[in-house]
Chain A
């Protein structure tokens, strides 16, 4: 008999007899209906408490804000999505000399891994919403915005629409109907990479980005 069959058979022929499954009531996770403004405030507070940085912008001024933020940090380049409107909009502004040079992730990682790990200073990605209670960004990497875009560069900028901020993870998941099917990889990102493994002292950027900048578009 294979190990699979042995294990399943042991579990099925349980000596203690059949187990009853209790009811699960999820109402303890529910929160009152909050306004968008309240959710934005809470999101900002929670993500800042874990070292994330929030900038409130509009459709019209987010690129200016981005350019300022990257200039102060001396970023030489920025990895942008190829097809998402964030990328399209940035690339349509190539004439601006206050933006760092724009890079696109349109080749399989194998062909440019060393460059991604060593030479890319910042990246910008879209989000599928945010979660106010935990200060989390929802990311579903795609062919256009691959998984490593939000992980390898030392600065990760995420664009979040205020109207897409949910109160809880539970609410976001049900509203977006995740149970119907998941992408190859989905993520909640709450702050920059960190560790407290050395005597409980927080240090940022241990393996992933050292800085997480969220541009909230209101």
Chain B
């Protein structure tokens, strides 16, 4: 494993959430760019569901995902069988490293030097670009947002709109500096320039890599949702197409896709549908004129089968990656996606990432929430995100005796001092004599009470003890 295990190119310390959040809050550009975009996305989503029985549709979405998860192992086998029948080669990867190696081996077998990529969050999870580059294979993002982010040497800050943290001016300067386009605020011009730059790349790429939105077991079909057409280019022009997906993306029937699509695009960007809904069921046939000669699917586990073991956490796997929870999150809107330091930011990231990286690393994620409930309310497949946040918070401080060791690093936030205080507290409450003595003493010596109490007084004033205890007051009233 060590031969190919690779390190994050960004060296972001996930634990440093707070300083990054502080910096983001004090950065007016970040706040403006996100606020503007998220406000727009929220109102678009709302109007896209007008005239729909949204609650019933969400129930259907949740049930479709649950049904798929209930039959997950069988469905994966059925999917593999159908895809194989259709001429698509299926690979299984336990973790990111194995998934990267599989992609590399396919590239090496074809003597491929350049890879063009459609948008795929699983490949971000795998840090595939970085890995391939280390192997001497060029990997270029073709989704405009991803292309911009890649030019900047950054990671996506949103799962649907990767470059949402940048405004037109910043993008113009970046493109000017990296690709030599003129400085311009004309979005049409910038887009046309990127089109020109990428067309050459599509024609010359040896391999196309894409993600998958839904994999249909019934027919062996890989569904891809996109607006730009870069996904179609990626999966059609190069002689070899490799799709990568998490194992949870499988659904039993094509019919399921109709409902999930209706929820996905409306929740994500408020569109009734995206420009292209691409359904791939095989490589080029002998009599066909275009399409890849070879199609592969890499099924990536990377911690998903462990989430699958727990009845509550399992709900995380329902996610269809629409990003609506981010768009509606008051914390995400203020600090932006990069603050989280994780592949998936925002509410879904906060419940998904602790499984992938453990609670030691991701200890602040479950607390980076106001628990206002907006994420749970908009989620098209009804993932109870706030409940899961509370569950993970609990695991991060008490070592969770009810669900032993489901998420690694549980108890990571439990301090020795805090543990001692709580222990003393519960002992006192179980011993009335000690309790009376304690509260009396505390009331007497209230002047000595500290003005700073850890995190509590960071944003609040410290509560003051009353000069008399409740017991004393009641006694005075003669009751």
Question: Residues of A with Cβ closer than 8 Å to B?
Answer: 2-4, 6-8, 10-12, 14-16, 19-26, 28-29, 46, 50, 105-109, 113-114, 117, 133-136, 142-143, 146-148, 151, 168-170, 173-174, 178-179, 181-201, 203, 205-209
In addition to A10-B308, A11-B76, A200-B37, 19 A-B residue pairs with Cβ atoms within 8 Å of each other are: A7-B76, A7-B305, A11-B73, A15-B309, A19-B66, A29-B259, A134-B273, A147-B290, A183-B281, A187-B232, A190-B276, A193-B229, A195-B144, A197-B161, A198-B187, A200-B36, A200-B40, A207-B142, A207-B232
Kindly report which residue of chain A lies nearest to residue B287, judged by CB atoms. Answer: A143
- List 18 A-B residue pairs with CB atoms under 8 Å apart, sorted by A's residue number: A7-B301, A8-B73, A12-B73, A16-B310, A28-B60, A142-B288, A174-B255, A181-B219, A184-B288, A188-B276, A194-B275, A197-B144, A198-B144, A198-B163, A198-B190, A200-B36, A207-B198, A207-B199
Rounded to whole angstroms, the CA-CA distance of A190 and B226 in the bound complex is 11
CA distance A50 to B272 in the complex (A): 10
Chain A residue contacts of B458, Cβ below 8 A: none
Given A182-B281, A191-B275, does the pair A146, B228 have CB atoms closer than 8 Å?
no
| B221 is an interface residue with CB less than 8 A from chain A | yes
Given contacts A24-B60, A107-B289, A168-B258, contact A186 B281 (CB under 8 A): yes
* In the complex, residue of chain A having the shortest beta-carbon distance to the beta carbon of B218: A179
Residue among B144, B227, B230 with the highest chain A CB neighbour number at 10 A? B227
On chain B, the residues within 8 Å of A187 by CB distance are: 232, 276-279
Confirm or deny: B171 has a beta carbon within 8 angstroms of a beta carbon on chain A.
yes
The reply to whether B258 and A147 contact each other, CB–CB distance below 8 Å, is: no
In the complex, which residues of chain A have a beta carbon less than 8 angstroms from the beta carbon of B237?
A: 109, 113, 148
A106, closest chain B residue (CB): B289
Asked if residues B66 and A151 are in contact (CB atoms below 8 Å), the reply is: no
* Complex partner residue of B227 from A12, A134, A195, CB under 8 angstroms: A195
Instruction: Report how far A106 CA is from B290 CA in the complex, Å.
Output: 10
User: Is the pair B256, A24 in contact by a Cβ cutoff of 8 Å?
Assistant: yes
**Do residues A113 and B203 form an inter-chain contact, with CB atoms below 8 A?**
yes
Interface hit among B92-100, B106-114, B336-344, B469-477: B92-100
Shortest Cβ distance from residue A17 to the other chain B in the assembled complex, whole angstroms: 8
Q: Are B311 and A16 in contact (CB under 8 A)?
A: yes
**Which residues from A are CB-within-8-Å of B148?**
197-198
The smallest beta-carbon distance between B78 and chain A, in angstroms, is 12
Name the CB-closest residue of A to B229: A208
Q: Do residues B275 and A189 form an inter-chain contact, with CB atoms below 8 A? A: yes
Residues of B within 8 A of A147 (CB): 232, 236, 290-291
Q: Assess the A208–B282 pair: CB atoms within 8 A.
A: no
A185 to B233, CA, bound (A): 13
Which residues on B sit within 8 Å (CB–CB) of A113? 203, 237
Q: Is the CB of A188 within 8 A of B277?
A: yes
Which one of A151, A197, A198 contacts B229 once the chains associate, using CB atoms below 8 Å? A151
**Interface range on chain B (Cβ under 8 Å from partner):** 35 or more
- Smallest Cβ-Cβ distance to B312: which chain A residue: A16
Please tell me if B77 contacts chain A, counting CB pairs below 8 Å.
Answer: yes
Chain A residues within an 8 Å CB radius of B67: 21-22, 24
* Residues of chain B within 8 A of A7, CB atoms compared: 76, 92, 94, 247, 299, 301, 305
Provide the bound-state CA to CA distance between A182 and B77, in Å: 19
Q: In chain A, what residue has the closest Cβ to B143? A: A197
Of B33, B56, B255, B308, which is within 8 A of A11 by CB? Answer: B308
Q: Determine the distance from Cα of A48 to Cα of B353 in the docked complex, in whole angstroms.
A: 41
Q: What is the chain B residue whose CB lies nearest that of A24? A: B63
Q: Does B123 contact A (CB under 8 A)?
A: no
Name A192's contact: one of B233, B275, B287 (CB within 8 Å).
Answer: B275
Q: CB of B284 within 8 A of chain A?
A: yes
Q: Does B64 contact A (CB under 8 A)?
A: yes
Q: Which of B250-308 contact A (CB under 8 A)?
A: 253-256, 258-259, 261-262, 269, 271-285, 287-291, 299, 301, 305-306, 308
B272 touches A46 (CB 8 A): yes
Q: Which residue of B lies closest to A207 (CB)?
A: B229
- From the candidates A14, A184, A196, name the one contacting B284 in the complex (CB within 8 A): A184
A32 to B52: give the CA distance in the assembly, Å.
13
A50 pairs with B275, CB closer than 8 A: yes
Residue contact A29 to B258, C-beta cutoff 8 Å: yes
In this complex, what residue of B is CB-closest to A148? Answer: B290
Q: Is B446 an interface residue (CB 8 A)?
A: no
Chain A's closest residue to B95 (CB) is: A3
Contact of A133 among B64, B98, B272, B276 (CB under 8 A): B272
C-alpha spacing A201/B187, complex, angstroms: 7
The answer for the CA separation of A29 and B262 in the assembled complex, in Å, is 9
Our pick among B52, B60, B310 for the contact of A25 (Cβ within 8 Å) is B60
Chain B nearest Cβ from A135, distance in angstroms: 7
Question: B253 contacts which chain A residues (CB < 8 A)?
Answer: 179
Given that A148-B290, A183-B281, A190-B275 are known contacts, is A3 also in contact with B143, CB under 8 Å in the complex? no
Partner among A11, A21, A151, A206 whose Cβ is within 8 Å of the Cβ of B144: A206
Please name the residue on chain A nearest to B247 by beta carbon: A7
Q: Are A3 and B98 in contact (CB under 8 A)?
A: yes
Rounded to whole angstroms, the CA-CA distance of A50 and B276 in the bound complex is 12
Interchain CB contact under 8 A, B254 and A173: yes
Q: Which of A16, A113, A133 has the most CB of B within 10 A?
A: A16
- Which of B36, B71, B195, B274 contacts A190 (CB under 8 A)? B274
Q: Which residues of B contact A46 (CB under 8 A)?
A: 272
A151 to B229, CA, bound (A): 7
Please, which residues of chain A bring their CB within 8 A of the CB of B192? 205
Q: From residue B386, how far is it (CB to closest CB) to chain A in Å?
A: 21
Taken together as a complex, chains A and B put the C-alpha atoms of A209 and B195 apart, in Å, by: 11
Measured CB to CB, the nearest residue on chain B to A17 is B311
Bound Cα distance A192, B191 (Å): 14
